[in-house]
Amino acid sequence: MTGTTSLSPYTLVIDIGGSGIKALILDAQGQAITPRERQETPRPAQPDPMLAIIGNLAQGKTYDRVSVGFPGVVRQGVILTAVNLHPDWLGVNLQHLLQERLQAPVRVMNDADIQGYGAIRGQGVELAVTLGTGVGSALFTQGHLVPNVELGHQPFHKENTYEQCLGQVALKRDGVRKWNRRLGKALTQWQNLFHFDHLYLGGGNAKHIHFELPPQVQIISNLAGLLGGIALWRE
């Protein structure tokens, strides 16, 4: 559904997560003009029921284009990985399916990349890490994205990946104190690996961080995962 005003084009931003699917509308300047809406991610997290939820979130809204954040590797709108969703997602052309369903141009990007775009300053080396159902990551140099940096699935501790040690399952299993200790060690490793100028920590579990962060590390609002959607349309 489209409309033309001084604030258009309007961008419908969809953030697909392992636990929830969120949506809001941005104006041409990237400012939110509607409240964030959220629906639970269905179980099993298969394409058809999730596409139906996206359709419900879009219904009745005025938008000219759509930005979608997906928790996995995305190439030209096609889903290549979906570790925390159902394997039926693999190979799905999400961009094409949503263009048909929503009747508007659609661009799809990894959700952590979009959250990074919503947080970065465009200076030096910047890393965004999302701590939620899984562990997402996005790396930027001078405001330019380095695509498909899947830090969460790299080895971290005793042959376990960062996601296996810092994801939702690990937090529930091992408790907040142990999770915080592991995160502190991960921050040191990421600094030694990337020598970043800024690190942004987001995602639903960032609220569980209980230790003092280094000055170049900050917690960002989950809203960044939606506000960054305007970046997909910058030429």
Helix (H), strand (E), coil (C) string for 120-159: CCCCCEEEEEEECCCEEEEEEECCEEECCCCHHHCEEECC
| CA dihedral angle for residue 212, residue 16, residue 138, residue 204, rounded to 10 degrees | 0
Tens of pLDDT along 125-145?
Answer: 999 999 999 999 999 999 999
Q: Let me know: does 40 contact 101? Beta carbons within 8 Å.
A: no
Backbone angles phi, psi at 12, to 5 degrees: -85, 120
| Residue in this structure with the two tokens 């996206």, named with its chain if needed | 54
pLDDT, position 235:
64
Whole-number Å distance between alpha carbons of 57 and 50: 11
**Domains identified in the chain and CATH numbers:** 11-111+226-233 (3.30.420.40), 120-219 (3.30.420.40)
Residue type, 110: N
Residue numbers in the chain where pLDDT is lower than 50? none
Which tens digit of pLDDT belongs to each residue from 147-165?
889 999 999 998 999 999 9
What is the C-alpha separation between 76 and 133, in angstroms, rounded? 24
Helices (H) and strands (E) in the chain, counts: 7, 14
Angle at 228 between CA 207 and CA 72, to 5 degrees: 75
Contact 229, 31 (CB under 8 A): no
Helix ranges (H only) for the chain are 47-58, 94-102, 111-117, 162-166, 168-174, 176-194, 224-227
Nearest to 233, CA basis, from 22, 65, 48: 65
pLDDT of residue 148: 84
Instruction: Summarize pLDDT for 103-113 with one digit per residue, the tens.
Output: 999 999 999 99
